[in-house]
A = this chain, B = another copy of it.
Amino acid sequence: MSPKPGESLDPSSVGIVAVGDELLAGAHPDLNSPYLAYRCLEFGRTVRRVIVVGDEEADIAAAVDALARETATVFVSGGLGPTLDDVTRHGVAKALGVELYESEEAWAEVSGWFLRAGRPVLESNRRQALIPVGSERIPNAFGTAPGFRAVHPSGAVVMVGPGPPKELQGVFDSEMAPWLAAHPPDSKKRAKRTLHFGDLPESTFADGVGVWMARDANPLVGVTVKEGVLTARCVATADTETEANRLAEESAAAILALFPDRYLGEEVEGLGSFVGGFLAEKGLSFTVAESCTGGLVAGALTDAPGVSAVFQGSYVTYANERKVEVLGVAQASLDAHGAVSQQVAAEMARGALERSGARLAVSTTGVAGPTGGTEEKPIGLVWFGLALRHASGEIEVRTVDRRWPPLGRERIRSWAKNKALGLLLEGARDLTA
């Protein structure tokens, strides 16, 4: 893991130190290190080790020192606040073997921040202008705490930034990323392509993509899943930019070809805002009739800012009476098949479509648990209806069911929400095909 004495550090290697008592007390997961790790890939760098320590000068110094002897770039996040327990500056200076001094530039930045916010600058904030001798300030436009960049005696570059994730991400994008781009670990060129998929489990993706996900593959394929969206990122390395682009493009195309009907696009924030945005872009009005999802589907679709152009409103019909009154579901269907049934899902979607005049309607009705499951209709069973109003005026109604494992009400409702969003997308594509 560590280079032998005299051997130089692998220029592509990265270490991360996350600082904060709150990270060791279980208050927060460390979100900065995954972000830094993910972003480093596109600059040809890979994270070898992350160390999380509390707000203790000696622990911070030991962690920075250990990583600076193993990895060429060390990121440190957190512990730059104005209070006495914020000792990251001191710990890093100790690891570097230098003193801190009050940087005029940094003080101007700190005090300027308070002046602009119309708040008094406190003497305690002077602490935030301290940086190690010989280091360069890293400005922070997203909060009061400037960071700094310094070189460890090992030759490793140490970059220190704020702890709050939004601040750290902002500082990374505006300050650290340009530095990384200007200091490539080798003379290679890199290119990346990002693909987003919906309704695609991570395991299915991994089975399909296989060896491309190995740590030393080229292109390197990384994957993240968030809010129902699977994001795959291909980073290709080559001698020329043209070749890197070609490789990245090729691998992205091959991955896309594996799951064409699950593909969403290149820039997707969340499944709800993607589907809502797609419907708005295509001018397809829609509505939702929700039982077991209780408002989550409409809630997700309205994440899309422009959706008001095609979304007037929707219904949560939790009780059977409401399904009858609001959506026109037949009481006979409820009596014969129960609320969680193909028949009722179909009538909910059709009713919502007809009563709203929209082009598309999706419905959900299921058993989310923890009680209410039967042998015939177990916890995890959800029926979906999708009603489409074709250009001809003809109304088509489709239904589908899912039987998810009974892994908790929250997860079942979340899976059902994402499935309903996927169905709306399917309907929208069919209407505009």
Contact = CB atoms under 8 A, between A and B. Distances in A.
Copies per complex? Answer: 2
Given A46-B24, A48-B54, A62 B1 contact: yes
Which residue, A21, A31, A52, has most C-beta atoms of chain B within 10 A? A52
Give the dominant DSSP class at A's interface.
mixed
A25 B38 contact: yes
B26 A29 contact: no
A294 interface: yes
A28 B24 contact: no
Interface residues of A, number: 76
Interface string A16-42: 000001011111111101111111010
Interface stretch (A72-80, A108-116, A318-326): A318-326
A287 to B, nearest CB: 9
B299 A296 contact: yes
Interface in A54-92: 54, 56, 58-59, 62-63
A209 B377 CA distance: 49
Nearest to A287: B316
B49 A52 contact: yes
A23 B49 contact: no
B313 A317 contact: yes
A308 interface: yes
30 contacts: A25-B47, A26-B38, A26-B41, A27-B34, A27-B224, A29-B29, A30-B30, A30-B33, A30-B34, A50-B51, A51-B51, A292-B302, A294-B302, A294-B303, A295-B298, A296-B299, A298-B316, A302-B413, A305-B368, A305-B370, A305-B371, A305-B409, A311-B318, A311-B319, A312-B318, A312-B321, A313-B317, A314-B315, A314-B318, A316-B316
